[in-house]
Structure 1
């Protein structure tokens, strides 16, 4: 074999060993090498990212469960389910209600001497409800009607209603009701004398009113707005009911109210007055619903067990997302001491002071149970005190557990479950930044390899072309 054959074979071996000339994709080769170079590093970081996401999810769900339990307990108290039950000896006189979160105690004597009343006016007659009333302005002033006198309320602006020439008795009634926004309601009554406008004010002595129309015609007759004028000094039978306050005597103390709904009573209870009982006082009393309190405590303990089971799962030493989490460990420690949580810091001797005094007990495995013995003892010995612990005040079961839940999930505390969430979220951000840097480094390597491989391919292709040229022009010829 001559020298030209040796060069040809040598060049072919180089090309074959590098893969050039065989349709190789230089860009894909560069991509594959770059991916292989950073694959292990990227996979390690992505695995760490998945772990952090699972830890954030587990800690967040646990935080949500604890906060949700506190919120649900507050809702049970606020909806009035645990409020003392009110009873009135003479049920015809009034109805008593207790706003959620309040706990009135004891019994009260009640005598209703006057019900709140609203002023009622019935105007002169018209031919029908579609009769025109005349254009102008109907002014309504509010104040106190006392016999033939009227004392205007300087703090209230008069109501000025614009009446057009097209307004009928019916449309005027609608305007009065709409524009007074509840201060006066009006409607048309078709009686034996014809159509009459009926106006009723709000309850209470200060809600009397006078009508001061300014009509265009000046004649006080149907069809002119001045026909609707009314004042107590000129009353000719239009006044059918005088506005007045409600008056009651509670435990011998006289109380007045502008409406028949009386608030601000001892312990926060409310009375809806429905009749008078002059000279025959009745009794308003309140009793605590022990069965409702027991029911809430049973539900509370069941919910605590749900939280404990969730914690045991996610914080299991083997396989738990929070198996080595400091916040989860702290929560477990705090839950194990929950029966000692103080709900009544000002408890007198013998009164319930902690959740344990209300029956919350902890089993050896960390689960909870409701012990009826201390709960029933507290309900029997101090029913009013126990009832007072189921309100939305600064102390009590809800206030104490709400503080417990907030502290256990506080984001700013590195030792709490909230602190764990923040820590994992910061680590997740760092992991994402690391993945972004890996991607940048991998892309830089791919671009560099792509340039170098393509350049090498061009050089080898040039060498191959040279070999082919040499072979074609300098190879020995067959002399035959």
Structure 2
């Protein structure tokens, strides 16, 4: 309200005795009250629809998320065990489908090459100026076969650099070789260790200004090749060798990941001639427990839907998204979740005992579920993965369809539509508020002028009364 209007309002009623400011405010409010009430009622209805639709959407998404998490990391996740933990430990990647039984025989572990180079008097002895080059490859059989795919390391050695300086420079070079200096009975020795794997062996070549002496202080004193080895090689590089279900396999490390169903192994020992067995824990009890929880959660959603989408009195009684969800849930138990299942194997949710009652609720036929698990335990377990098919994928697809904001026939599309309508009402109420303020100010100014005229009339009347009184007194 501007200053002129404020002064007008403060003076209103001075002549007539009527509160003109309140009168203007009340009249302006009354002018728009029916429209505001209509819009506010409509907004309340939309808020209820948005809330009900959002609750249904959230319930489906939360159930899908909880089921996926339980399958990936909970008691439904495949849990492999090794009959000989000293040979290997096993795990399944998140979302993996590994099952069954596998034989494992490890004949060789992966190893990293370790060198203890020629000794010096002390770790602080100078090495000699030049370049130390480390080239990578296989050192098997007393020969070196370079792996040209690996970049050689070049270590620059200054004239005053010590054995400790060389070790630090190797570690800072960022390659697969690490180094340290140890002082043993033979003296100070540079120990170099590579990465696991046969092709991660390496040779050491010293060249430069100090080379040629062949003694401490000459850079080539640190030279090493398998053909000239005289005890410096403490461990040769090697790949892991093992058979998996009788298939010969090789790995540059002791981690074997190229196995079925997301199974991976960490090899820890050798068991040539005495294979270990990798098996998976029976999940029958966990599957039954999960299906009980799953059925209860579906009934919670079905109950919400029945209440909010009731034809009479339901917030979503005539909503296309709610009708679509009703259709989806009515067909849910009969859906094929494993289209690639072999004949006789479970493929539908109904095979897991899930049934839809006439009143729209779900029921779990525990006897049917137990029979399915007993007849096809591995096929049943395969239905509980986070892959392309299965219970989770089916539910997740339903949740995604229901949440789609681009489909006007889904709950997500309904939320988008109702939200737009609610925003339009907010804009309309804002405009009405502005119109009401303008009308009130206009009435205030009009009433101010009227009040001034009333005051002037009252002043004239008072003057006339006083004059009449004077005249009457003079006659007496």
TM range (shorter): 0.7 to 0.9
Unaligned runs of 5+ in 1: 1-17
2:16–2:455 contact (8 Å) kept in structure 1: no
User: Greater shift after overlay, 117-126 or 347-356?
Assistant: 347-356
TM-score, normalized by length of structure 2?
0.85
Q: Deviations over 1:240-262 (max 9, x none)?
A: 11111122233443222111212
Equivalent residue pairs, number:
462
The 1:294/1:136 distance shift into structure 2, 3 A limit, reads farther
Q: How far is the alpha carbon of 1:330 from its aligned partner? A: 3.5
Q: Report the 3-state secondary structure (helix = DSSP H, G, I; strand = E; otherwise coil) of the residue aligned with 1:124.
A: coil
Residue 118 of structure 1 is matched in structure 2 by 112
Residue 8 of structure 1 is matched in structure 2 by none
Residue 258 of structure 2 is matched in structure 1 by 264
User: Greater shift after overlay, 431-440 or 145-154?
Assistant: 145-154
Q: Deviations over 1:405-445 (max 9, x none)?
A: 22223222223221221221121022112212311321231
Unaligned runs of 5+ in 2: 1-11
The 1:262/1:347 distance shift into structure 2, 3 A limit, reads closer
Residue 294 of structure 1 is matched in structure 2 by 288
User: Greater shift after overlay, 200-209 or 384-393?
Assistant: 384-393
Q: Report the 3-state secondary structure (helix = DSSP H, G, I; strand = E; otherwise coil) of the residue aligned with 1:206.
A: helix
Q: How far is the alpha carbon of 1:320 from its aligned partner? A: 5.0
Matches of 2:354 and 2:152, distance apart in 1: 61
User: Greater shift after overlay, 165-174 or 37-46?
Assistant: 165-174
Matches of 2:121 and 2:342, distance apart in 1: 75
1:359–1:371 contact (8 Å) kept in structure 2: yes
Residue 195 of structure 2 is matched in structure 1 by 202
Matches of 2:246 and 2:169, distance apart in 1: 45
The 1:87/1:453 distance shift into structure 2, 3 A limit, reads closer
Matches of 1:306 and 1:166, distance apart in 2: 78
- Taking the TM superposition and a 5 Å limit, the aligned residue runs for 1:209-248 are 209-214=202-207, 217-218=210-211, 221-222=215-216, 225-248=219-242
Q: Report the 3-state secondary structure (helix = DSSP H, G, I; strand = E; otherwise coil) of the residue aligned with 1:394.
A: coil
**Which of 15, 33, 55 is the equivalent residue of 1:39?**
33
- Taking the TM superposition and a 5 Å limit, the aligned residue runs for 1:357-396 are 357-396=351-390
The 1:462/1:80 distance shift into structure 2, 3 A limit, reads closer
1:145–1:208 contact (8 Å) kept in structure 2: yes
The 1:350/1:75 distance shift into structure 2, 3 A limit, reads same
**Which of 167, 181, 189 is the equivalent residue of 1:188?**
181
Residue 425 of structure 2 is matched in structure 1 by 431
The 1:271/1:446 distance shift into structure 2, 3 A limit, reads same
* Superposed CA RMSD: 3.2
2:337–2:391 contact (8 Å) kept in structure 1: yes
The 1:281/1:349 distance shift into structure 2, 3 A limit, reads closer
Matches of 2:155 and 2:21, distance apart in 1: 85
Matches of 2:185 and 2:50, distance apart in 1: 79
The 1:203/1:457 distance shift into structure 2, 3 A limit, reads same
Matches of 1:306 and 1:178, distance apart in 2: 60
Q: Report the 3-state secondary structure (helix = DSSP H, G, I; strand = E; otherwise coil) of the residue aligned with 1:96.
A: strand
- Taking the TM superposition and a 5 Å limit, the aligned residue runs for 1:344-363 are 344-363=338-357
